[in-house]
Structure formats: C-alpha cells, structure tokens
Structure 1
Amino acid sequence: MSRLAISNIAWPPDQRRPALALLAELGVGGLEVAPGLLFPGEVDPFAPSEAVLRATLGEVEAHGLTFVSMQSLHFAAPDAALFGGPEARRRFADTIVRAADLAARLGSPNLVVGSPRNRVVPEDMPAETARRIALDVFRALGDQAATRGCRLALEPNPRDYGTNFLNLTSEVRDFVREADHPAVALNFDIGALSLNGEAEADAALFASARDLVSHVHLSRPHLAAVEAEDASVGRALAMLDEAGWRSWVSIEMRATAPDPLAAVRHAISYCLSRMGAPSHAR
C-alpha cells in the first residue's frame, strides 16, 4: 500500500500547528512543502535561519511527520525563465539549486518542478532548440540535486495552467527517459491526467513510466479539494495499489474556505479509505 502525505498548500501558514496535529491524529506520515508557506516570516524562505529551521524540524518531527517533497519552487521568481535569455535561464536554474539546498537541510528527497509560466517556449523558438536547452539545463541540475541527496521530479503541466512545454504525462516520460539522469525523474500527477484526457490510460501510462516516477500527486484539476464526490483520486489510488506502488502519494489541494482543516480532514479520510481498495472499485 502507498504511504500518504499531504502538501502544506492545503492550509494557511497561521494554521500550521492545528494542521500538523490533525495529520498526527489521522496517521499521516509525510509532509510536502512549499517553502514560502513553510517559512512565511523569513526574508528568504529558501534560506531560513538555523533557529527557525531547528524549531520547524522539531515541530514536524514531534508530530511523527517526515519531509517527503518540496514544490512551488519558482512561485516568487516570475523573472526566471527556462527559455529566456541567459540571465533569466540562470535565475531559473539558481532557484532550483537553492531549493535543493533547502531540501538537503530538511532531509527531503524530492523536488517537484512544475512552474508552468517559467517554462513557456517563445513562439519564435524551434521545438528542437527548446528541447535541447531543457535537456542541457536539467542534466546539469540533476548533477546539483544528486550532490544534495534529492531528485528533480518534472511535472506535466496542462495547457490550462499556462504553459506549452511538457504538457502531457507521456511527454514528460519521454523527456525524462531522454535526459537519462538518475536525479531527473517524473512526478505522476492525477489532476494533470484528468485535464489532459489521459485518465483512462492511467494504468498503462504508469506502467510505461514506473521506473522514472519518484513521487505521486493526488490532485484534482486546478488543485480543487480532494473529495469523495469526485472519484478520480480514488480510482487512481486503486490503480497504484494494483500496480504495487509502495512509496509516497501526496494530497495536493489548495486551502479551501471557510474551513481549510475540515477540508483536509475530509480529503485524508477519503484517501485512507480508498488506499488498498480492490481494483473493481475503480
């Protein structure tokens, strides 16, 4: 059976303590984090002070949680661009290196690289040029990540999210396989499958990319709250169980007003009820 985690984008920073207590109560073992929400009071959330870092690590460990992944790497870096000029491309890469530095301090083994608006291919750039640039950048970043004990998990971002590069899960799979770097992996995202019309082929896609997958996001399109009324996440959990996935799966959903922790409780309870469910439940 998979191991359940949840991203801290599901609650506002001022509700972290009750959120962590809720995770401990429900038996969730993994925490995925967006640095800006984990260290909201720090001038640079990628470089928190040692005192703040130690306090945060102690709080997370006291609730029996492990840092399993990091996301939202370019959230505060709108001028970083994979396919921009040399300076914009350097900022794109430097932001990921700094995130890897923080991941090493947290002991997090995975960095989800989504950043749809930071990877838009300009209209006048040939597709092969863009692919060559991306392969060169991510192979070099893979070297940096490996020295820090983590992997880069490239995430498919549907066109609805504002990008035109690596939209489909199959495209990310093929790109990661071509990159051929042990620290460059694939983030298998359930919401992206739904938006891209790939959900019906989820089992075949997962099987074709299994050796490349480092992390799974249990999400709905546009990061809507995970709930029983939408069975896509439950079907995905049954598929993953049937495929023998035993690593982390992370609920990824935005904070839901007016009571984000009630939505978190509902999402976790639903996912736990479906983990290990028989395949005929799909």
Structure 2
Amino acid sequence: MRFAMCNELYEDRPVETGFRDIAGAGYEAIELAPFTLGRPAEQVSASDRRDLRMRAADLGLGFTGLHWLLARTEGLHIASADPVVRRRTLDHLNVLSGLCADLGGAVLVFGSPAQRSTPEGMSAQEGRERSIEMFRDWSVRAEEDGTTICLEALPTDETDFLNTTGQVIEAVSEVDSPVVKLVLDVKSMSAEPMPIPEQISAAAPHLAYVQANDANRGGPGFGDTDFVPIFRALAAVRYDGYVSVEAFEAPTGIDDLAVRSIDYLRGCALDAGVPA
C-alpha cells in the first residue's frame, strides 16, 4: 500500500514548501488541488509543469493526480443547459486532464459538489443526463492523455447528485468508458448505512483510487473510524493503488496531522497484514 497526501491544507504556504513538508512526513506522492497553484490551470505553462514535476521528484515525490477540480472557478457546471457554460466547463476539465498527465499523474477525482448539484429549475433526471453526457465527452480527452476520471460519492448535505457508492457505480456503468471509474472516500462511505467493507467489495470492478479520512472530517486516526477492516477489504479486492490522506480539519496543525495520519495508516496496514 502506498500513501499520498492532498496538498490543499498547505495552501497558505508556497506550493514547493507544501511539497517539502509532505515529503518530510513520509508520503510518496501528492494529490494536487489546482487552486493551490495560484492561477487557473490554463495559465500554467508547459515549463511551469515541468518545473513542478521536477521539484516534486527532487523530494522523492510523484503526483497521483488532481482533485477539487472545479473548486474556486466561476460559471462552470457539468449539468448546465447553457451551451456556452457546457463548452467552458468541458474545456476546463480537458485542460485539467492535460495538466494531470504533464505532472505524471493518473487520476482526476471529481467531487466539486457545487458544480454538480442539480441547477435550479432543472429536474434531477435532466441534471443527471446532462452530467453523464459531460463525463462521456470528458472521457475522450482523458483517454488520449492516459488519465482516469474518478467519480466520487458525496453525502446529501453537500450535493443532491451521486450520493452513494451504488449511485456512482450506476453512473460509471452508464458512461461506459474504460477511463471513467470511481474513488472511494472514507468520510463519504461512513455516511452510508452499508458497511464500508461491503461498499469496497461492490465497487471493486470500478475502483481506481482511495481517499483516507475520518468520519469526523479529520485525518485518519483522528476519530473513531477503524482502518484495519478497510485495509483488509482493499486487500481482498486486490487494490494496489494509492491511499491518499484528504483531511478537512487539522485542529492540532497540518504538520502534526500529516505525520500522525501516515503513522496510523501504516500501523493499520500492518495489523491488517497488508504490506506498506
């Protein structure tokens, strides 16, 4: 099992400093939030991308990919009925696929609750159909770039679209692309009545990525979520990808969270009999 960390908690530090601190905590890779680069992805030049990749590599880090794809954007939405908005949204997602590939990443985690919730005045069914169409169109560029789109279930207090692992499995099957799969996020899985190991088993044919956090939105080990059965379930389905720490709250500080989270995950992996 390999461990990565999302970098948005380091937003108040220079991006390279965040990379250094993630490496210093013992992680192997970065899950990059594009807004931490301080400018739109469209303005990140080829030389800038090479420089970012080189700076990470010098620290022994790779990139797993990108997440928070539409965060802090204006006027973008995957279910919009406006053809101009749809074109701009698809163009931006395509740019992010290229950015991901240029950094050596593989996954594009699609959460972005504000930009996927059903637009006002639109039926849930129409919103779903338009979103599926967007994912299908986006997959064309992702396949060319060698990236994988990972749809993420989010709870109902964040969005009204794709709230459960089962709903995401249905959407992935409907898009029917080899590069559209799913991510399992522990916080989101914890909001469902189905036990997490059962969700992992059901999602296995489509699983491309795992994000680790506690049900309380903190880092792994900062609450009551037990990761030993989670690692056992991942081993049972032969998942061998990254487990990426994505915490939303760091009451003891970012640096402490980073170190304690990976130490906890390593211990749980050991207890589960999973090499880490």
| Equivalence for 1:196 | 192
Give the Å deviation of 1:54.
3.1
Shift in alpha-carbon separation, 1:272–1:16, aligned structure 2, 3 A: farther
Give the Å deviation of 1:8.
0.6
Structure 1, unaligned runs of 5 or more: none
| Equivalence for 1:120 | 117
CA distance in 2, matches of 1:96, 1:233: 32
Runs of 4+ in 1 over 4 A off after TM superposition: 15-19
- 166, 169, 175: which is aligned to 2:165? 169
The answer as to 2:159 corresponding to 1:159 is no
Shift in alpha-carbon separation, 1:44–1:124, aligned structure 2, 3 A: closer
CA distance in 2, matches of 1:25, 1:76: 28
| Partner SS, residue 14 of structure 1 | coil
Q: Which amino acid is the alignment partner of residue 278 of structure 1?
A: A
- 80, 83, 89: which is aligned to 2:79? 83
| Equivalence for 2:202 | 208
Give the Å deviation of 1:257.
5.0
Shift in alpha-carbon separation, 1:62–1:13, aligned structure 2, 3 A: farther
Counterparts of 1:73-152 in structure 2 under 5 Å?
Answer: 73-84=69-80, 85-122=82-119, 124-152=121-149
Shift in alpha-carbon separation, 1:87–1:278, aligned structure 2, 3 A: same
Q: Which amino acid is the alignment partner of residue 175 of structure 1?
A: A
| Equivalence for 2:51 | 55
Matched length = 272
Checking the alignment, whether the CA contact within 8 Å between 1:110 and 1:151 is kept in structure 2 is yes
- TM-score w.r.t. the length of structure 2 is 0.88
Give the Å deviation of 1:33.
0.5
Instruction: Report sequence identity in percent.
Output: 24
Counterparts of 1:223-234 in structure 2 under 5 Å?
Answer: 223-234=217-228
Checking the alignment, whether the CA contact within 8 Å between 2:53 and 2:104 is kept in structure 1 is no
Most deviating of 126-135 and 166-175: 126-135
Greater helix content: 1
Counterparts of 1:6-17 in structure 2 under 5 Å?
Answer: 6-14=5-13, 16-17=15-16
Backbone CA RMSD of aligned residues: 2.3
| Equivalence for 2:3 | 4
Shift in alpha-carbon separation, 1:235–1:121, aligned structure 2, 3 A: same
| Equivalence for 2:250 | 256
| Equivalence for 1:275 | 269
Q: CA offsets, 1:113-141, max 9 Å, x none?
A: 11111111146434433332222221111
| Partner SS, residue 177 of structure 2 | coil
Q: Which amino acid is the alignment partner of residue 173 of structure 2?
A: R
Shift in alpha-carbon separation, 1:227–1:218, aligned structure 2, 3 A: same
CA distance in 2, matches of 1:222, 1:111: 24
Q: CA offsets, 1:153-198, max 9 Å, x none?
A: 011111111x111111110011101211011111111110112333
Structure 2, unaligned runs of 5 or more: none
Checking the alignment, whether the CA contact within 8 Å between 1:238 and 1:274 is kept in structure 2 is no
Checking the alignment, whether the CA contact within 8 Å between 1:9 and 1:253 is kept in structure 2 is no
Shift in alpha-carbon separation, 1:261–1:134, aligned structure 2, 3 A: same
| Equivalence for 1:245 | 239
- 179, 185, 188: which is aligned to 1:183? 179
Most deviating of 143-152 and 246-255: 246-255
